[in-house]
């Protein structure tokens, strides 16, 4: 089948998509956007988090056909050109990136949290990020990054 | 001229500072190329057919239906392995593809390559393998007397340690039997790689691994090619923690690529990843501790069984660690330990962060608490009374010849103020599941301290190779560093840059991709890369500086760019840490280890004693790191290592029945989330080790070791339960039965 989807503001088309393919597979293997990751492909880890019509979803759980005609925003589309989104900057500065496999998903999840709750409490941050597994950091520096991005946005 | 040392320490981004990772921008933008992101024109996909049985004879394999599936390029079995169909990290005992017998569920039997991953899976399902199912050997304690699974029997290695008087008598004696479940590394980036056939008949493999050269040697042997024709380049690694030290898809992808002449990509999914790498050895540990009435340890006796599963992997070294580190960071004059690593038909086990020291620590720290209770002593006081220090002898007779601040680490975690009782629902056991508002919740506090050897032991020639090149680019001196040392997330690429900056006084340092075009760097494991590859990079910089001094001879130039001119200084150095010795096979005596690392934890938990739910409220740590080359990365290692220890304490276990894995998914194998990990307060000591580069001490593993027993000690304090097994599950807390092995 053919899938038409707007990705990071650009209309894209994928041909010869097999019905069983996920949005994640189409993004990674057909549209050249491997930013969303594939740590479980079962909706358990959040490494594939992207925005679908403005709502964060696990791209591995979205069938490619379900994305037809909709808007997807991936980690690659959070900032223009060479710029970084403040959340991305904060992840770098706080040391929240080790292997980085969880990072794209966490960056999108944190981006969404701060858009909804500009000044989240620690329990709110933990709750919002609980669907995103990280095996390297123990989450401490990821929390630091979210706090830092929130503080910067306020000042 | 060589740059003046006073300037060196002040160079921006040098040793002792926390510059940003060179790969961080790519990683936050989603542009860093992990092994599973690789793509090649004309690429095809490989898939692996695995045994559904833990133990079976292969009677027949019929590929004909699979070969008929349109889009299939190749279907291979052991008959298609051109070289030696047997490999292994320390001992070659594992087939690339099974021949007549399968020894664990998930063992690779056949390979398929096809133009779409789904096509490969469909074809794979059409391969017909006839099995004659055999009874699996699954109990590690009786495996030695059971059906032999390998020609030499089921013993992988036995390590005895004998020190002092075997008949020493103590006033107070406590015994216990402890169990450690099978933990998984659960790195997030699945096993993956891309093999590209080359015109010279060789193959280029881009892969996520921990040790390029040991992969290269094993792949070349299996392919029947000279190593020079098997070139490996590290692609982005999504975590490792020991699970990538053994081969997974490396040979398989190369076989398919060479057979089809097409670039072949293999990516495991999460379920396959659980079958595709070794795990932490499950263990059964029998301990006896004796002390005098003042709490001074008199003797420790232990029998330790480690389940190596179907193949040896690094079991021999894990057994040695469990034995040599088996009494923990304590002074004990009379020690008798036996540790056995055995073959079974359970999943193969090998390296995981902590490597044998984790299992022993759960037992010896549980014993220290039990002993404190028997003596009526405070558990921290008991530990401090027996703590080793610089100059103490290990049970191997090795004298610890640099800082061993065990007592101080314990004091640091003990003396922190205790956290207040939580007010938010998320602070309570059960969290937003809203299972309690505080009723039935009991707080407990527990302590533990651990010891880990850093680097490879027992006489292994443990070295690394580094090349540093210095030249002027655009009027500015620029350095380039090249090693084969695998960056797996820990931040070695940053450390390499920092060392070059400090040594050469240049700020612009580029780290080349890691590959096999340079000599081995050894494994990214055993907390050793900053030490050993760091040492090699520093040695290469010293050679560069010596060359600069030659250039400067008789001239007066005070600027590095002017001194270099058009000159390109390019030096390669091999560096090894001081030698270690094998241990005596009968007494276990010998200077087996290079360096020791220590960490201590205090855990504070709230337990809902009615439901058996645990909330770890705080998990503080103190660790000596010798010298923090990158303080931010050091904290990251302590936090991440602690989280993995918490996981083993309360949730992480691969559960098997008759050798069959019951939970190969992140739905059923749980790792800590942001809600499970508590805040941590961390004290980092920097007591330099004079033998190590910059005085550093390996950082990655010690925090994983003490966090598990600290959390369990806290749960015991809250519940009064014996809790002799990790992970602790709710039913262990609520059960009315006495847990197996608890003292009568
Ligand atoms: S890959 Fe989608 S949730 Fe894990
Ligand atoms: S940084 Fe490795 S999984 Fe999060």
CATH code, domain with B374: 3.30.365.10
Chain A residues with CB-CB distance to B23 below 8 A: 100
Smallest Cβ–Cβ distance between B677 and the set A37, A39, A138 belongs to: A138
* Within a domain: B75: yes
Q: Is A45 helix (H, G, I), strand (E, B) or coil?
A: coil
Same structural domain for residues B255 and B126?
Answer: yes
Both tokens assigned to B516: 């096999």
Q: Which residues of chain B have pLDDT under 70?
A: 1-10, 736-744
* Within a domain: B610: yes
User: Among candidates A42, A37, A64, A69, which has minimal Cα distance to A53?
Assistant: A69
Backbone dihedral region for residue B658 (phi beyond 0: left; psi -120 to 50: alpha; all else: beta): left
Give the number of the atom of ligand 1 that is nearest the alpha carbon of residue A131. Answer: 3
Backbone angles phi, psi at B146, to 5 degrees: -95, 180
The predicted model scores a pTM of: 0.97
DSSP element (H, E) containing B616: strand B613-624
Residue A109 Cβ inside 6 Å of ligand 1? The answer reads no
Of B529, B553, B576, which one is at a domain's C-terminal end? B576
pLDDT of residue B555: 85
Q: Report how many helices (DSSP H) and strands (DSSP E) chain B contains, helices first.
A: 17, 28
Same structural domain for residues B203 and B103?
Answer: yes
Residue-range definition of the domain harbouring residue B564: 5-32+463-576
Cα B445 from Cα B645, distance rounded (Å):
16
* Complete DSSP assignment for B280-341: EPPEEEEEEEEE-TT--EEEEEEEEEEE-TTS-TTHHHHHHHHHHTTT-SB--SEEEEEEEE
CA of B63 to the centre of ligand 1 (A): 33
Contact A18 B118 (CB under 8 A): yes
Rounding to the nearest 10 degrees, give the CA dihedral for residues B371, B373, B375, B380. 80
User: Among candidates B448, B530, B424, which has minimal Cα distance to B485?
Assistant: B530
Of B508, B541, B576, which one is at a domain's C-terminal end? B576
Cα B459 from Cα B578, distance rounded (Å):
10
Contact B37 A28 (CB under 8 A): yes
Residue A49 Cβ inside 6 Å of ligand 1? The answer reads no
* Within a domain: B66: yes
pLDDT of residue B449: 98
Same structural domain for residues B622 and B729?
Answer: yes
- Answer whether B422's CB lies under 8 Å from B428's CB: yes
User: CB contact, 8 Å: B188 with chain A?
Assistant: yes
CA of A66 to the centre of ligand 1 (A): 17
Burial of B130 (0-12, 13-18, 19+ CB in 10 A): exposed
Same structural domain for residues B415 and B474?
Answer: no
Backbone angles phi, psi at B483, to 5 degrees: -145, 175
Same structural domain for residues B223 and B328?
Answer: no
Q: Is B656 helix (H, G, I), strand (E, B) or coil?
A: strand
Alpha-carbon distances of B17 from B24, B622, B723, rounded to whole Å: 16, 20, 42
Say which ligand is closest to the CA of B637.
2
Query: How many residues belong to chain B?
Result: 744
Contact A123 B426 (CB under 8 A): yes
Q: Which residue bears the tokens 């710029």?
A: A83
Give the number of the atom of ligand 2 that is nearest the alpha carbon of residue A142. Answer: 4
Cα B558 from Cα B284, distance rounded (Å):
64
Smallest Cβ–Cβ distance between A18 and the set B116, B424, B635 belongs to: B116
Of B558, B576, B594, which one is at a domain's C-terminal end? B576
Pocket of ligand 2 (CB under 6 A): A 97-102, 134-137; B 188, 239, 489
Say which ligand is closest to the CA of A99.
2
Smallest Cβ–Cβ distance between A137 and the set B187, B636, B679 belongs to: B636
**If you take atom 3 of ligand 1, which residue's CA is the nearest one?**
A43
* Within a domain: B14: yes
Q: Which residue of A99, A108, A140, A145 sits with most ligand 2 atoms within 8 Å of its CB, as the best mutation to test the pocket? A: A99
Contact B239 A107 (CB under 8 A): no
Backbone angles phi, psi at B135, to 5 degrees: -70, 125
* Within a domain: B162: no
Say which ligand is closest to the CA of B23.
2
Contact A136 B239 (CB under 8 A): yes
Burial of B108 (0-12, 13-18, 19+ CB in 10 A): buried
Residue A65 Cβ inside 6 Å of ligand 1? The answer reads no
Residue A131 Cβ inside 6 Å of ligand 1? The answer reads no
Alpha-carbon distances of B312 from B25, B91, B282, B378, rounded to whole Å: 40, 7, 14, 41
CA of A47 to the centre of ligand 1 (A): 5
Contact A138 B675 (CB under 8 A): no
Contact B673 A33 (CB under 8 A): no
Same structural domain for residues B662 and B730?
Answer: yes
**If you take atom 3 of ligand 2, which residue's CA is the nearest one?**
A134
- Answer whether B607's CB lies under 8 Å from B442's CB: yes
Same structural domain for residues B662 and B572?
Answer: no
- Measured in whole angstroms, the distance separating CA B249 from the mean position of its chain's CA atoms is 19
Total structural domains within chain B: 3
**Could you give all domains of chain A from N- to C-terminal order, each with its CATH number?**
3-78 (3.10.20.30), 86-154 (1.10.150.120)
Cα A54 from Cα A37, distance rounded (Å):
19
Q: Which residue of A21, A23, A28, A46 sits with most ligand 1 atoms within 8 Å of its CB, as the best mutation to test the pocket? A: A46
Cα B400 from Cα B593, distance rounded (Å):
9
Same structural domain for residues B680 and B729?
Answer: yes
Same structural domain for residues B450 and B486?
Answer: no
Check residue A26 and report its DSSP letter: I
């Amino acid at each position: 089948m053919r899938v038409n989807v707007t990705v990071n503001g650009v209309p894209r088309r994928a041909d010869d998509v097999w019905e069983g393919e996920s949005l994640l597979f189409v993004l990674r293997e057909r549209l050249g956007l491997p930013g969303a990751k594939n740590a479980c492909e079962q909706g358990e880890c959040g490494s594939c988090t992207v925005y679908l019509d403005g709502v964060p979803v696990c791209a591995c759980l979205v069938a490619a056909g379900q994305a037809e005609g909709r808007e997807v925003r991936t980690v690659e589309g959070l900032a223009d050109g060479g710029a970084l989104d403040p959340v991305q900057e904060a992840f770098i500065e706080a040391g929240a990136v080790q292997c980085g496999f969880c990072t794209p998903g966490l960056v999108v999840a944190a981006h969404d949290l701060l858009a909804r709750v500009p000044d989240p409490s620690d329990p709110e941050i933990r709750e919002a990020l609980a669907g995103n597994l990280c095996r390297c950091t123990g989450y401490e520096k990821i929390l630091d990054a979210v706090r830092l991005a929130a503080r910067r946005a306020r000042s | 001229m060589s740059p003046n040392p006073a300037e060196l320490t002040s160079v921006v981004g040098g040793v002792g500072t926390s510059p940003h990772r060179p790969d961080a921008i790519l990683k936050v933008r989603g542009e860093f190329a992990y092994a599973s992101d690789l793509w090649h024109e004309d690429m095809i996909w490989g898939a692996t057919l695995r045994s559904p049985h833990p133990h079976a004879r292969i009677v027949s394999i019929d590929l004909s239906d699979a070969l008929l599936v349109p889009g299939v390029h190749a279907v291979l079995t052991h008959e298609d392995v051109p070289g030696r169909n047997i490999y292994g990290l320390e001992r070659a005992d594992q087939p690339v593809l099974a021949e007549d017998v399968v020894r664990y569920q998930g063992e690779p039997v056949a390979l398929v390559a096809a133009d779409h991953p789904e096509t490969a899976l469909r074809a794979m399902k059409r391969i017909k393998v006839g099995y004659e199912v055999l009874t699996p050997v699954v109990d590690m304690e009786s495996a030695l007397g059971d059906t032999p699974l390998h020609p030499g029997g089921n013993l992988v290695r036995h390590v005895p340690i004998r020190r002092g008087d075997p008949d020493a008598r103590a006033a107070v004696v406590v015994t216990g039997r402890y169990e450690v479940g099978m933990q998984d590394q659960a790195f997030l980036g699945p096993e993956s790689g891309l093999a590209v056939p080359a015109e010279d008949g060789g193959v280029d493999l881009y892969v996520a691994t921990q040790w390029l050269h040991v992969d290269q040697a094993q792949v070349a042997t299996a392919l029947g090619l000279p190593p020079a024709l098997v070139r490996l380049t590290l692609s982005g690694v999504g975590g490792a923690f020991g699970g990538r030290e053994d081969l997974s898809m490396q040979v398989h992808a190369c076989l398919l690529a060479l057979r089809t002449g097409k670039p072949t990509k293999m990516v495991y999914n999460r379920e396959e990843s659980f079958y595709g790498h070794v795990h932490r050895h499950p263990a059964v540990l029998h301990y006896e501790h004796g002390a005098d009435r003042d709490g001074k340890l008199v003797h420790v006796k232990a029998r330790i069984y480690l389940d190596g599963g179907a193949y040896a992997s690094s079991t021999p070294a894990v057994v040695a660690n469990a034995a040599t580190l088996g009494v923990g960071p304590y002074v004990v004059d009379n020690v008798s330990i036996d540790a056995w690593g055995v073959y079974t038909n359970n999943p193969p086990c090998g390296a995981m962060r902590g490597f044998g020291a984790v299992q022993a620590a759960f037992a010896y720290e549980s014993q220290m608490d039990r002993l404190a209770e028997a003596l009526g002593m405070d558990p921290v006081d008991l530990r401090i009374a027996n703590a080793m220090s610089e100059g103490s002898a290990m049970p191997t007779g090795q004298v610890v010849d640099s800082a061993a601040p065990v007592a101080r680490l314990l004091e640091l975690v003990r003396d922190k103020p205790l956290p207040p009782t939580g007010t938010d629902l998320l602070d309570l056991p059960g969290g937003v599941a809203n299972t309690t508002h505080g009723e039935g919740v009991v707080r407990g506090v527990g302590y533990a301290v651990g010891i880990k050897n850093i680097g490879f032991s027992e006489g292994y020639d443990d070295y690394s190779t580094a090349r540093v090149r210095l030249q002027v680019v655009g009027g500015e001196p620029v350095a380039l560093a090249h090693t084969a040392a695998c960056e797996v997330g820990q931040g070695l690429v940053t450390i390499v840059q920092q060392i070059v900056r400090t040594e050469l006084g240049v700020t612009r340092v580029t780290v080349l991709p890691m590959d096999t075009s340079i000599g081995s760097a050894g494994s990214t494991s055993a907390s050793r890369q900053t030490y050993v590859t760091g040492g090699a990079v520093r040695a290469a910089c010293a050679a560069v500086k010596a060359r600069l001094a030659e250039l400067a001879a008789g001239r007066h130039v005070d600027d590095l760019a002017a001194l270099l001119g058009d000159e390109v200084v390019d030096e390669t150095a091999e560096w090894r840490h001081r030698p270690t010795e094998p241990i005596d096979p009968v007494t276990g005596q010998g200077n087996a280890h290079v360096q020791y690392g220590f960490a201590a934890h205090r855990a504070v938990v709230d337990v809902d004693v009615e439901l058996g739910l645990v909330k770890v409220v705080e998990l503080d740590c103190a660790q000596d790191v010798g010298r923090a080359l990158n303080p931010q990365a050091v904290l990251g290692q302590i936090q991440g290592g602690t989280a993995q220890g918490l996981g083993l304490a309360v949730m992480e276990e691969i559960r098997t029945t008759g050798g069959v894995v019951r939970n190969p998914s992140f739905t059923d194998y749980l790792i800590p989330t942001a809600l499970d990990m508590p805040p941590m307060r961390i004290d980092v000591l920097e007591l330099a080790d004079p033998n190590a580069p910059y005085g550093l001490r390996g950082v990655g593993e010690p925090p994983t070791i003490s966090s598990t027993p600290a959390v369990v000690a806290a749960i015991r304090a809250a519940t009064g339960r014996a809790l002799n097994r990790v992970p602790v599950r709710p039913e262990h807390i609520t059960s009315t039965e006495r847990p197996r092995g608890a003292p009568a």
